[in-house]
Amino acid sequence: MLSSRVRLVTTTARLVHSLIYSSSRSFMDLKALLSSLNDFASLSFAESWDNVGLLVEPSPPHTVNTLFLTNDLTEEVMEEALQKKADLILSYHPPIFRPMKRITWKTWKERLVIRALENRVGIYSPHTAYDAAPQGVNNWLAKGLGVCTSRPIHPSKAPDYPTEGTHRVEFSVTHTQDLDKVISALKEIAGVSVTSFSARTDDEEQTRLSLNCTQQALMQVVAFLSQNRQFYQKTEILSLEKPLLLYTGMGRLCTLDESVSLETMIERIKSHLKLSHVRLALGIGKTLESPVKVVTLCAGSGSSVLQGTDADLYLTGEMSHHDVLDAASQGISVILCEHSNTERGFLSDLRDMLDAHLENKINIILSETDRDPLHVI
């Protein structure tokens, strides 16, 4: 009798713990979740050609209890997500990339949209925003190299910066009586902000005007100034650039603390990516015993990012035949792991980071059916 009671108490305790755990991971409003995801890695870091963000939205209001992570959203993965009661699918690669002219049952990507909407499941894709992020895919890929320092190959620019406009126009006004008229005329141009300060040129007191202009407003400002030869001949036009971000951007240039042989590096990469095979192109004059000190890498398809970088080794998922030949001719060895094999392992780290970032408010699960479509046989 006592043993039965002990088992009952233990079972009850487990049930209570399960209920408490489930209630602590309740849900988030979709808009609030999207805002938090953008705080984690801003979509402004994505490449201009990319299609990122919320791609499929159920009719509002929509709450999310379960966030489902996958590298690629195939029909098999969609079926898994529905079985696991996902409310939002985070698909690293955007399943919608090219514009759709119709939504029918004819193609697999159209069917994904239909099934998502029928089952009230949202689809979100971060893609190159996660490639660029300091804690993103390329940073994870670099962890497999060993102890090293790394920096982006192509740094991102600060998305938010106080300076407005794309150009700065500066010129001086000598006669005070002209100043008010000039400022008044310039302020009537949309997309122009005007500041003024005193300056002395050739022992003559002048007022220096500085304008921040949008690209569109710049042509109107130039047209206005060209009407006054005195202004126009002394006008300076500067192109404004946002500051670069040191740890954010495409690709990574990694310098190892200690050189290792190419053979050792291959084994490290295979272990990190959990692969039994990779593809290798030896650089001209190089062997498996050649030292590796500098590695440039890019998850996915890295040709455009890695091209022109000076390194002992290129690491990426895929490159064109001719780009591999070009690298090898320069004495740079190339390791190819297939496209998504250089990305998918990041999702485990992502789950842990999002759990912490979202303060365990929702369930986050990884796809078990998502895999690279190519296999070595």
Q: Looking at residues 172-198, what average pLDDT do you find?
A: 84
279-313: pLDDT as tens digits? 999 999 999 999 999 999 999 999 999 999 999 99
Q: How far apart are CA 92 and CA 99, in angstroms?
A: 18
Rounded to 10°, the helix 176-187/215-225 angle is: 150
59-107: pLDDT as tens digits? 999 999 999 999 999 999 999 999 999 999 999 999 999 999 999 999 9
Give every CB contact of residue 247 below 8 A, 6+ residues apart in sequence. Answer: 134, 151, 152
131 marked ligand binding residue? yes
236 marked ligand binding residue? no
Q: How far apart are CA 277 and CA 269, in angstroms?
A: 10
Q: Looking at residues 45-58, what average pLDDT do you find?
A: 97
Residue 19's pLDDT is 42
Is the pLDDT reported for residue 15 higher than 50? no
Q: Looking at residues 242-251, what average pLDDT do you find?
A: 92
155-179: pLDDT as tens digits? 998 876 656 778 999 988 876 657 8
Is the pLDDT reported for residue 16 higher than 50? no
Query: Is the peptide bond preceding residue 61 cis, with omega within 30 degrees of 0?
Result: yes
39 marked ligand binding residue? no
Residue 25's pLDDT is 62
Flag the least confident range among 119-128, 185-194, 288-297, 309-318: 185-194
Provide the pLDDT confidence category of residue 21 given band limits of 50, 70 and 90: very low
Cα-Cα-Cα-Cα dihedral sign, residues 304, 310, 315, 321:
positive
Q: How far apart are the first and last CA of the chain?
A: 59
Q: Looking at residues 177-191, what average pLDDT do you find?
A: 85
Give CB contacts under 8 A, 24+ apart, made by 136-140: 136/41, 136/346, 137/92, 137/299, 137/300, 137/342, 137/343, 137/346, 138/250, 138/251, 138/252, 138/297, 138/298, 138/299, 139/252, 140/345, 140/346, 140/349
Percent of the chain whose pLDDT exceeds 90: 73
